[in-house]
Amino acid sequence: MEKPEIAKLGYVALVSSDLQKSLTFFRDVIGLEETAEIDGVHYLRAWGDFQHHTLSVEQGESGYVKHIGWRTKKREDVEGFRALLEEQGVDVRTVPAWETPGIGEAVRFSLPSGHTFELYYDIEKPEVEEHRRSVLKNQTYKAWAKGISPRRFDHVNLHTSQQAPETFEFLQNVLGFKMRELLENDNQDILAGWMSVTQLVHDVAFVVRPETDTPARVHHISYWSDDSQDILRAADILKEHGFDFVGPGKHSISQAMYIYVTDPGSGCRVELFTGGYLIFEPDWEPVRWHESERAFGNTYWGDSINAKELVKTTIEAR
């Protein structure tokens, strides 16, 4: 039997303690399009995203991430992963088709770190109203209609304070993520890993942070823009709206250009992201960085990332 495979990152389910602030941030400032609002949950996507949503936002007592969704390569992979996970002794919950709007039957489970993942294949690709639809047949919405206007959802960055070796092994050996770059100490313990199921440098980054408040945290979610000028334009837009942000800068790890800004409603950080490189080599060997190079790995040039400060403002994952 073929091993099931994940095709791509799908969406993040976010809870906000101030829904209106989050909607203003994501719709008006970041510039995401709203697909639907159903029972108080708002479903959003970028102008180049095809599936129903890449972000859902709802009201709660505090800000946190409920789960992170991933689309599989084939419909039968959902059942394949269920069997594989159950063989590993993982508690798997079935989510009925369309219980989450736009998402077919899914399996939901926790990583050893405590982060909740969901795997599905079937999706809806809703038609867009004519006044919002792009004239391009290969694009969903009009670009640059509002706000920063990133093209697509790109990656998530997760932190944990426990079960790190088990989680790295789980991500690679059970879920099939490939290690692209990593940070390690003298004992060759992995302190951070950039992993993907696509040709991207990372669909998920997983970082060990023993000092975090709770075991499972989300450092940021990321939306992709086409080029560096888009990131500079984003800085102007954020400044006009009174937002503090980190960047622009460029990572050494991934070679990508970034800005970090935080949603004032949920506390969820968003990375606005461009550049980097793609991996097509079938025999790619992970690029190894030593912990002494951590600061340089984070910031090649530009506005430096204060990693300790950013850790303090991670959002809980449940």
Q: pLDDT tens, 169-220? A: 999 999 999 999 999 999 999 999 999 999 999 999 999 998 888 889 999 9
Cα–Cα dist 317/14, whole Å: 9
Residue 1 lies in a domain: no
Cα–Cα dist 151/281, whole Å: 26
Residue 249 lies in a domain: yes
- Contacting residues for 260 by C-beta, under 8 A, at least 6 apart: 220, 245, 246, 247, 269, 270, 271, 272, 305, 310
What does the block give as tokens for 14? 């976010």
**Res 23: pLDDT:** 98
The CA angle 49-53-55, to the nearest 5 degrees, is 105
What is the number of H-type helices and E-type strands within the chain?
Answer: 6, 19
**Res 311: pLDDT:** 52
Residue 293 lies in a domain: yes
With beta carbons less than 8 A apart as the criterion, state whether 15 and 58 touch: yes
Block means of pLDDT (10 residues each) for the chain, 318 residues, are 93 98 98 97 98 98 97 98 96 97 98 97 94 94 95 97 93 97 95 97 95 90 97 97 95 97 97 96 97 94 71 77
End-to-end CA distance of the chain: 33
List the one residue out of 114, 144, 148, 118 whose CA is nearest residue 132.
144
Residue 125 lies in a domain: no
Q: Are residues 172 and 95 in the same domain?
A: no
Beta strands at 246-250 and 256-262: parallel, antiparallel or unpaired: antiparallel
49-59 burial by CB neighbour count: b if 16+ within 10 A, else e?
Answer: bebbbbbbbbe
How many CB atoms are located within 10 Å of the residue 258 CB?
26
Q: Are residues 99 and 178 in the same domain?
A: no
Residue 129 lies in a domain: no
**Res 1: pLDDT:** 63
Q: Are residues 115 and 165 in the same domain?
A: no
What does the block give as tokens for 281? 């080599």
Q: Are residues 268 and 308 in the same domain?
A: yes
Tell me which DSSP letter residue 28 carries. I
Sign of CA dihedral 195, 201, 203, 209: positive
Residue 67 lies in a domain: yes
Q: Are residues 307 and 212 in the same domain?
A: yes
Cα–Cα dist 41/11, whole Å: 14
**Res 257: pLDDT:** 97
SS3 letters for 52-96?
CCCEEEEECCCCEEEEEEEEECCCHHHHHHHHHHHHCCCCCEEEC
- Separation in Å, CA 233 to CA 46, 228, 311: 17, 9, 26
Q: What CATH number corresponds to the domain at position 80?
A: 3.10.180.10
List the one residue out of 11, 217, 222 whose CA is nearest residue 119.
11
Q: Are residues 56 and 164 in the same domain?
A: no
**Res 303: pLDDT:** 84
Residue 143 lies in a domain: no
Q: Are residues 94 and 224 in the same domain?
A: no
- Separation in Å, CA 148 to CA 11, 116, 130, 220, 316: 19, 29, 22, 17, 26
Peptide bond connecting 248 to the previous residue in cis, omega within 30 degrees of 0: yes
Q: Are residues 65 and 182 in the same domain?
A: no
Q: Are residues 109 and 204 in the same domain?
A: no
Q: Are residues 81 and 35 in the same domain?
A: yes
Domain boundary at 120, 138, 172, which? 120
Q: Are residues 171 and 274 in the same domain?
A: yes
Structurally, how many domains does the chain consist of? 2
**In which domain, by residue range, is 110 found?**
6-120
What does the block give as tokens for 163? 């079960």
Domain boundary at 71, 104, 120, which? 120
**Res 70: pLDDT:** 98
Q: Are residues 223 and 179 in the same domain?
A: yes
